[in-house]
Amino acid sequence: MFVYRGSTALITGASKGLGKVFAQTLAARGMNLVLVARSAEALQALATDLAGRYGVESIALDADLGDPDAAQRIAQELERRGVQVDLLINNAGLGLTGSFLSHDLRKKQSEIQVNVHALTALSHVFGGGMAKRGSGGIINLASNASFQPLPYMATYAATKAFVLSFSEALQFELAGTGVHVMAACPGPTATSFFDGVSTNVSPKDMDSSDSVVQQTLKAFDQRKVVAYPGRTSVRAATWLSRLLPRALVVRIAAMASGKMGLHG
């Protein structure tokens, strides 16, 4: 089992939602923290609170993962401080809803930058150090959207399919090094993800952030490669793409998006 106490976790998107819950949960386990997000004030407040509450070291790094150089800048700052990352949680993500052509191209490119490029860069930068030391872990937040095309969240689902595929392949490559890689594929979760989005999904139909985090870390401790930290119905939905023709899968996914109110 991964040794949490005294180790250091880097969590992206740490100022709210799942990232914040990961930070709180790991601090309670005695982990030191590197918290990364754009919300400098909220991030520093969280870092100060967790350090005081649990007696851990907690560093707040204000960084925009939409910047192609963000991963290198984070690594350089941590090297300057002498901080070693033992667990990387690539939690930050963007998800634009509505038709693909309704969005400014730069926003779609930013979505890909954060969900794919930054995650890949951070995995490379910190995974390399873990492999050399012979220990460590990487948890990449994918989604139940990883398993099929999703009209009206086309780019988001495609980026999460990358995260799932990338994580499975990376774990195979790192087998035997002491570094464990896992993709977590939650379904709709009661976070700020849907803030500002016209959706018909009620919070009672979503999994709680605490439940998703606890199930994700349990799966990580069990050395699973893919985790499904959600209700059974969410897991069952991922089977459709393996059993049905893809054209039918796309139509079903489009109906689900429409029912959720994500089409516009």
230 DSSP 8-state letter: S
pLDDT for position 261 = 74
Q: Which two tokens stand for residue 197?
A: 């989005």
pLDDT of residue 199: 58
> What pLDDT, on a 0 to 100 scale, did the predictor assign at position 241?
83
Q: DSSP characters for 15-37?
A: TSHHHHHHHHHHHHTT-EEEEEE
Structural domain includes residue 229: yes
Domain count along the chain: 1
* 207, part of any domain: yes
- Cα 120 to Cα 37, 117, 140: the distances in Å are 17, 5, 10
- What's the confidence (pLDDT) of residue 71? 98
Query: Residue 1 falls within a domain, yes or no?
Result: no
Annotated active-site residue in 4, 54, 152, 156: 156
CATH code, domain with 69? 3.40.50.720
Rounded distance between C-alpha atoms, residue 81 and residue 49, angstroms: 21
Range of the domain at 86: 8-260
Distance CA 264, CA 261 (A): 7
CA 81 to chain centre: 25
Give the model's pLDDT for residue 232: 86
The torsion defined by the Cα of 123, 124, 130 and 132, in degrees rounded to 10, comes to: 170
Rounded Cα distance between 259 and 70, Å, is 37
In a domain, 197, yes or no: yes
* Confidence (pLDDT) at 69: 97
Question: With left for phi above 0 and alpha for psi between -120 and 50, is residue 185 left, alpha or beta?
Answer: beta
Q: What is the pLDDT of residue 194?
A: 54
Residue 100 resides in a domain: yes
Residues of the chain predicted below pLDDT 70: 192-204, 263-264
Residue 14 covered by a domain? yes
**Is 3 contained in some domain?**
no
Task: Look at residue 18 and tell me if it is in a domain.
Answer: yes
Whole-Å CA distances, 33 to 19, 55, 91, 172, 230? 12, 11, 14, 27, 25
Please say if 228 is a catalytic residue. no
**Segment 139-162, tens digit of pLDDT:** 999 999 999 999 999 999 999 999
